[in-house]
Chains A and B, each alone.
Chain A
Amino acid sequence: DAGVIQSPRHEVTEMGQEVTLRCKPISGHNSLFWYRQTMMRGLELLIYFNNNVPIDDSGMPEDRFSAKMPNASFSTLKIQPSEPRDSAVYFCASRRRVATNEKLFFGSGTQLSVL
C-alpha cells in the first residue's frame, strides 16, 4: 500500500498568495482528516471528512481556509489569501472506518512557509 500521499512536500509563498495542499488517502479508507502542527499549538484538527462529506470543520481557523473532497481518493486544503501566521506543517491522515480503536495513518506532511 502506498500510504497517504501529500503534495507538495514543501511550499514557500508570499503573503496574500493562494496555497493549495493536496492529499490522496489510502485506498479503501472512508475518513480523512486535515491537521496543522505548530510549535505553539501542537497538532490541531482543521477538518474531518467521512465518506467525502465534511463532518466537523470547527477547527478551520477562518474563512481564508477551505477544504474539499470531491471523491474518495482526493482532497484539497486551500488557503486564500495566505498569511505568515499560516506557516506550519499540514498533515493529512486517513482512517479505514469509524471505531474507537481505529488508528490514523498520516501522510508525510506539507511544510508551508508564508513570507
Chain B
Amino acid sequence: AQKITQTQPGMFVQEKEAVTLDCTYDTSDPSYGLFWYKQPSSGEMIFLIYQGSYDQQNATEGRYSLNFQKARKSANLVISASQLGDSAMYFCAMRETSKTYGGSQGNLIFGKGTKLSVKP
C-alpha cells in the first residue's frame, strides 16, 4: 500500500488565487513528520514546510500553510496568492519516528507529486 498518496497529477490555478494540493498518508506510528517540497522545472528540490504529528497548530511559512487533519490522515498544502513562479511539481513526504532511529534512519517517503501550473 502506498504510504503517501497525491491524487492530483496536475492542477491549474489563476494567478493571485489560492490553491490546495492534496496529500493523504498511511501510518500506524503515532509520531511522524510531514514535509512538502517544490521542484521547479530546473530540477532542484526545495523544502517548503514541515508539520509534526503532535504539533497543535497547522504549520505556516509565508504564503504556504498546511491544512493538517490528523484523523483523516491528510496534510494538504495551501498556497495563497499564487504567483507565476509557483508553477512546479510539489511533493508530499513523510518520516515515521519509529523508523527514525532504526534501520531506515528515518528515510523520507515521497508521494508521486502534483504538477501545478499558474495561469496569468
Contact = CB atoms under 8 A, between A and B. Distances in A.
Contacts of B101: 98
Interface of A: 31, 33, 42-43, 45, 48, 50, 55-56, 89, 91, 93, 98-109, 111
B47 A104 contact: yes
A109 B105 contact: no
B103 A106 contact: no
Contacts of A42: 110-113
A48 B45 contact: no
Q: Chain B contact residues (Cβ within 8 angstroms of A): what range?
A: 20 to 34
Nearest to A9: B43
Nearest to A43: B110
B91 interface: yes
8 contacts: A42-B112, A43-B91, A45-B108, A56-B103, A100-B52, A100-B95, A101-B33, A111-B43
A21 to B, nearest CB: 14
B111 A108 contact: no
Nearest to B46: A106
Given A42-B112, A100-B33, A89 B106 contact: no
A106 B105 contact: no
B110 A100 contact: no
Interface in B76-120: 91, 95, 97, 100-101, 103-108, 110-113
